[in-house]
Amino acid sequence: MLVLNGPAGIGKSTVARELAARTANGAWIEGDALKAFVVTRDRHRPRGLSFRVAGAATGVYLDAGFELVVFDFVFHDADMVEQFSRTLPAGADLHVVTLWADLATVTAREKGRPGREPLREMVAVHWRKVRDNLFELGAVVSADGPVADVVLAVERAVDGRVGAYPRPERG
């Protein structure tokens, strides 16, 4: 089970789809699609439902023999990853890879996504939250290059064959 993390607009969905397609039996659980299931919510409804749905779906796919399940989502910190990990079936291996690029690159990509309402200033908000916790969000892979290169780098990170992306200095 692979969590593909990163700020909005970094290319998680594109990379996740490609990763799943490279296996004989791959499934991609799109975080944005799960969020869209909830049309309205009052203040009494629980948060974190996307995690629970993704965890349940992961179990279904793993039970069916899928060799790779990729869930793409914006995890801001290790607590969010831990909350998600508790929804997974017992014994499921969890790998977390965070895609990373500078804010200008992410902002430009997010603006160019077709058929979506722009997130505007929220891109920077999410980028900063991920940046502030980058040290605790699994392997970090540069998303600056072509999709094929990013996919290969993610596969190598999961296999433990690649070093981490240069991380910002702790302040």
**Digit-coded pLDDT (tens) for 12-45:** 999 999 999 999 999 999 988 888 888 887 777 7
Q: Do 123 and 79 form a contact (C-beta atoms < 8 A)?
A: no
CATH class of 2-158: alpha beta
Q: Minimal CA–CA distance to 124: which of 132, 114, 115?
A: 132
Under DSSP, the state recorded for 117 is: -
**Digit-coded pLDDT (tens) for 82-117:** 989 988 988 888 999 999 999 988 888 777 666 666
**What would the two tokens of residue 22 be?**
């490279």
User: Given the structure tokens 């920077």, which residue do they identify?
Assistant: 124
**Digit-coded pLDDT (tens) for 123-148:** 899 899 999 999 999 999 999 999 99
User: Identity (one letter) of the amino acid at 96?
Assistant: V
Q: What is the dihedral of CA 73, 88, 98, 131, to 10 degrees?
A: 70
Report the alpha-carbon distance of residue 68 to residue 166 in Å, rounded. 27
pLDDT at 49 over 50: yes
User: Given the structure tokens 């200008």, which residue do they identify?
Assistant: 104
Lowest mean pLDDT among 30-44, 48-62, 153-167: 153-167
